[in-house]
């Protein structure tokens, strides 16, 4: 990762964190934001992988964290309008932030029933192949989706037809309140796929440069027509599953505090400073600018109207 690449990674990760922090503040102050799932602590994995793509590639996201969407170029105001279910975002208030749909940015959308994304991803990859494009489909997934059957169907076909599909497993320790180790042998989400002959890389999901390099290799492999590849990032869900869940019932407070010491932003910042690539002053300046951007986008979203009859009619028209 060169200097510009590393600074871009840091800026995109900080954008994600600034958004999560701000929304958490608003929720604590009594505002409502349906379906908010904080991605705090996982930015290296989501953003590092997203930035390994080119503009023509496609990305299927999970419900957690928003840095990967912003890294694709989704404006903050559109994201926050979706989060608050207002008009003028990507789904006019009908899909919340769970169903961001911006095909022009390579964001085809997101399913609600876990597992279906794998066969959708394989289908999108097949469509790219048939169209003769060189685009790759990157599909993030968590412990819950990855323990469902469609992953097997999708990978079977993707290997057979050498489809340009890259899977990025977000191993963050939990599926709601279940530990990864109770869902997967040895607590690894991707080891089983080695038997399919699929390249599997297990990386430190809190090291953005390592993630970026591994996903770049996987994307290159898929783009060359050599079939699917998997990158599993080990990270940790610092936030509760949803704000205010009963996390005291399934983990000790010291666990999250321990992982906070491996914070991906702090780690990258320290390396950038050591290399003389980004000073503490430049970081503070960046943080101030991002905070102002998020505040402005929030004000814009709050002022936007919720959907009414015309937006509903337009949606119904799409179904006809």
Ligand X SMILES: Cc1ncc(C[n+]2csc(CCOP(=O)(O)OP(=O)(O)O)c2C)c(N)n1
Which residues of the shown chain bind ligand X in the complex (CB under 6 A)? 62-64, 112-115, 142-145, 170, 172, 174-176, 237, 241
Closer by beta carbon to ligand X, 112 or else 244? 112
Whether 68 contacts 59, CB under 8 Å = yes
CB of 229: closest distance to ligand X in angstroms?
20
Beta bridge partners of 168: 140, 231
Closer by beta carbon to ligand X, 65 or else 227? 65
Closer by beta carbon to ligand X, 184 or else 298? 184
CB of 64: closest distance to ligand X in angstroms?
4
Residue of this chain nearest to ligand X (CB atom): 142
Whether 178 contacts 196, CB under 8 Å = no
CB of 178: closest distance to ligand X in angstroms?
8
State whether the Cα torsion 108-155-115-252 is positive or negative: negative
Where are any strands of DSSP class E within the chain?
Answer: 58-60, 137-141, 165-171, 174-175, 178-179, 200-204, 229-234
CB of 146: closest distance to ligand X in angstroms?
7
Closer by beta carbon to ligand X, 87 or else 178? 178
Q: What is the end-to-end Cα distance of the chain in Å, rounded?
A: 48
CA 76 to chain centre: 15
Whether 100 contacts 75, CB under 8 Å = no
Closer by beta carbon to ligand X, 166 or else 278? 166
Closer by beta carbon to ligand X, 63 or else 86? 63
CB of 128: closest distance to ligand X in angstroms?
25
3-class state of residue 108 by DSSP = coil
Whether 42 contacts 99, CB under 8 Å = no
CB of 206: closest distance to ligand X in angstroms?
15
């Amino acid at each position: 990762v060169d200097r510009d690449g590393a600074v871009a990674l840091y800026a995109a990760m900080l954008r994600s964190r600034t958004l999560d922090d701000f929304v958490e503040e608003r929720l604590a102050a009594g505002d409502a934001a349906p379906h908010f799932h904080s991605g705090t602590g996982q930015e290296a994995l989501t953003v590092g992988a997203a930035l390994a793509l080119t503009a023509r590639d496609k990305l299927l996201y999970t419900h957690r964290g928003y840095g990967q969407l912003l890294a694709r170029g989704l404006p903050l105001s559109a994201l926050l309008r979706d989060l608050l279910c207002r008009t003028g975002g990507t789904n006019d208030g009908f899909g919340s932030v769970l169903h961001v749909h911006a095909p022009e940015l390579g964001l085809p959308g997101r399913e609600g029933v876990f597992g279906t994304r794998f066969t959708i991803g394989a289908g999108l990859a097949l469509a790219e192949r048939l169209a003769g494009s060189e685009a790759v489909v990157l599909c993030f997934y968590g412990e819950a989706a990855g323990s469902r059957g469609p992953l097997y169907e999708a990978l079977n076909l993707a290997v057979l037809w050498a489809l340009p599909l890259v899977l990025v497993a977000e191993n963050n320790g939990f599926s709601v309140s279940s530990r990864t180790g109770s869902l997967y042998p040895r607590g690894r989400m991707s080891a089983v796929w080695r038997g399919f002959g699929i390249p599997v890389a297990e990386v430190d999901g809190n090291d953005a440069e390592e993630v970026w390099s591994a996903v770049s290799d996987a994307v290159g492999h898929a783009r060359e027509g050599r079939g699917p590849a998997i990158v599993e990032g080990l990270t940790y869900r610092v936030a509760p599953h949803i704000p205010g869940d009963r996390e005291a019932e399934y983990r000790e407070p010291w666990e999250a505090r321990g992982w906070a010491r491996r914070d991906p932003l702090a780690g990258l910042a320290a390396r950038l400073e050591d290399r003389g690539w980004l000073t503490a002053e430049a970081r503070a300046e960046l943080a101030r600018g991002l905070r102002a951007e998020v505040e402005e986008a929030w004000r814009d979203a709050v002022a936007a109207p919720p959907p009414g009859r015309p937006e509903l009619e337009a949606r119904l028209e799409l179904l006809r």
